[in-house]
Amino acid sequence: MARVMIVEDENIVAMDIRQRLEMLGYEVTATVTTGKKAIELADKTRPDVVLMDIVLKGEVDGIEAAEEIRRRLGIPIIYITAYSDSKTLERAKVTEPFGYIIKPFEDRELQSVIEIALYKDKMEKKLRESEELYRAIIRSLNDVLFTLDADEKYTMVSGQIQDYGLAEEEMVGKTPREVFGAAGEIHHEQNRMVLEGESRIYNWEWEKDGERLYFMVSLSPLRDSNGEIIGITGILRDITSLKEYELALERENRINRALANLAKKLLEPISLEKISDNVIEYARKLTDSQFCIIGAVESGRLKECIIPEDTLEECQLEEEAKMGSLCDRIMENRKPILSNNPQEDNISLPEGHVKIENLLIVPALLQEELVGIIALANKDGDYEKKDLEIVERLADLYSIAIKRKQDEEKNRIIIQKFLKIVSEVLEELK
């Protein structure tokens, strides 16, 4: 049984309406004569529908009372009025009533308006529940859902877009090119194909506030009931973590291939200088460093520094220049030095030396023995732990190659001495 509240300031009319409603099988929760009282009792009794006279005595008329009840409680309102002038009806429309009854009216008319209002209210509540469920599902997704019209303008964007510093209200009515600038050009190209009937999946790279983000975009045509394309539906999926993993794997493979190639070169019978040149080339390339200097250590002393010609010229160094105090630190503690701000880290350089933005110095150790030093500087960006790991692997190869070369030199000297002794003995036996 539906529950109805009557708001009518003429008592006789109110009693008549009450009797009619009860005869039709409705329960009357209250009969009130003022707008203020209607708001109060609607909150207390919570009727299913309110029959509201538009013209009421007092400070709050029927339209104002209906607007407040609708706003607070969402109860459907049916206006009862003897006035059908356009001005009154236009004002009443703003409150979104569920129907009008013009006095005088028949019972059948009253029942029809109430039943239609109740049905409409039921459908609207179901629709709101569906919308809330839909929004809850959308909110639970990590993907950004969106729609575009035939002019490529956003008509809807799900709330997840806020995770990327954007807001739906800022995007709706704009094209991807207007929102993303040059980075949105790829969307325009893909959108045109979708509006011609294709479905598209593509990857998109976007730089936001200095951070590089990667997305997979899925687009499909949006059609009306006649099958005509009226826009685009799309999903924006963040694949940044996956892409970063792929890039890291590619980089690791590239490093491994480079180190394998270097190891192969170092196994060849080449000079100490050539060994250093190869290590310098790979060290600069794998760490994106501008400068690289290598020093070989023998018997606890830095035997020589290998400095490329372009580094000598750029750094304004003499050919016999050494690594100075930094070398002494490495020789003493045998630990790497990584600094992305040498000045703040109190790292001093020779007067007139080219400006060093950052540096990485790594000892080349072989079974706890220091056999060399690799020094890098001016990476494009900061040196990171990964750079240190790469140079340490280079240092391992360098230390093996240097030690092998030093042992070869020692063996050569020993053999020369042995041959000299044999020659002298043979000379004495003649």
Residue 394, domain CATH: 3.30.450.40
Mean pLDDT of 393-421: 73
275 and 406 part of one domain: yes
How do residues 334-371 score in pLDDT, each as one tens digit?
888 898 988 777 777 666 667 888 989 888 888 778 88
* Beta bridge mates, 358: none
How do residues 9-60 score in pLDDT, each as one tens digit?
888 888 988 998 888 899 999 899 888 888 889 889 999 999 988 888 888 8
231 and 153 part of one domain: yes
Query: Does the residue 43 lie in any domain?
Result: yes
The mean of the pLDDT values for the chain is 82
214 contacts 203 by C-beta, under 8 angstroms: yes
The confidence score (pLDDT) of residue 419 equals: 61
Q: Of 17-31, 72-86, 230-244, give the lowest mean pLDDT range.
A: 72-86
Q: Of 202-206, 229-233, 274-278, 402-406, give the lowest mean pLDDT range.
A: 402-406
356 and 388 part of one domain: yes
110 and 156 part of one domain: no
Tell me which of 206 and 245 has the higher pLDDT. 206
Residue 310 pLDDT > 50: yes
Mean pLDDT of 365-384: 87
Residue 313 pLDDT > 80: no
87 and 69 part of one domain: yes
Domain total for the chain? 3
CATH code for position 66:
3.40.50.2300
Query: Does the residue 243 lie in any domain?
Result: no
pTM above 0.75, yes or no: no
Query: Does the residue 300 lie in any domain?
Result: yes
69 token code pair = 């009840």
189 token code pair = 């190209």
395 and 291 part of one domain: yes
Mean pLDDT of 240-265: 82
Query: Does the residue 192 lie in any domain?
Result: yes
Q: What is the 3-state secondary structure (H, E, C) of the chain?
A: CCEEEEECCCHHHHHHHHHHHHHCCCEEEEEECCHHHHHHHHHHHCCCEEEEECCCCCCCCHHHHHHHHHHHHCCCEEEEECCCCHHHHHHHHCCCCCEEEECCCCHHHHHHHHHHHHHHHHHHHHHHHHHHHHHHHHHHCCCEEEEEECCCCEEEECHHHHHHCCCHHHHCCCCHHHHHHHHHHHHHHHHHHHHCCCCEEEEEEEEECCEEEEEEEEEEEEECCCCCEEEEEEEEEECHHHHHHHHHHHHHHHHHHHHHHHHHHHCCCCCHHHHHHHHHHHHHHHHCEEEEEEEEEECCEEEEEECCHHHHHHHCCCCCCCCHHHHHHHHHHCCCEEECCCCCCCCCCCCCCCCCCCEEEEEEEECCEEEEEEEEEEECCCCCHHHHHHHHHHHHHHHHHHHHHHHHHHHHHHHHHHHHHHHHHHHHHC
The confidence score (pLDDT) of residue 321 equals: 45
Query: Does the residue 429 lie in any domain?
Result: no
Q: Which of 238, 257, 289 is the last residue of a domain?
A: 238
315 and 401 part of one domain: yes
pLDDT above 70: percentage of residues in the chain: 83
Query: Does the residue 313 lie in any domain?
Result: yes
Residue 106 pLDDT > 70: yes
Query: Does the residue 430 lie in any domain?
Result: no
Q: Name the band, by pLDDT with cuts 50, 70 and 90, for residue 320.
A: very low
348 token code pair = 């001093």
Q: Which of 112, 136, 160 is the last residue of a domain?
A: 136
Residue 340 sits in which domain range?
270-414
The confidence score (pLDDT) of residue 307 equals: 73
Cα distance between residue 65 and residue 5, in whole Å = 13
CATH code for position 219:
3.30.450.20
Q: Which of 86, 111, 136 is the last residue of a domain?
A: 136
146 and 220 part of one domain: yes
Cα distance between residue 141 and residue 162, in whole Å = 13
120 and 170 part of one domain: no
How do residues 398-408 score in pLDDT, each as one tens digit?
888 877 776 76
Q: Of 225-229, 265-269, 384-388, 417-421, give the lowest mean pLDDT range.
A: 417-421
Query: Does the residue 428 lie in any domain?
Result: no
177 and 100 part of one domain: no
The single residue listed with the structure tokens 């996956």 is: 242
pLDDT above 90: percentage of residues in the chain: 19
Residue 200 pLDDT > 90: yes
387 and 288 part of one domain: yes
First to last CA, the chain: 138
386 and 290 part of one domain: yes
How do residues 216-226 score in pLDDT, each as one tens digit?
999 999 998 88
Q: Name the band, by pLDDT with cuts 50, 70 and 90, for residue 188.
A: very high
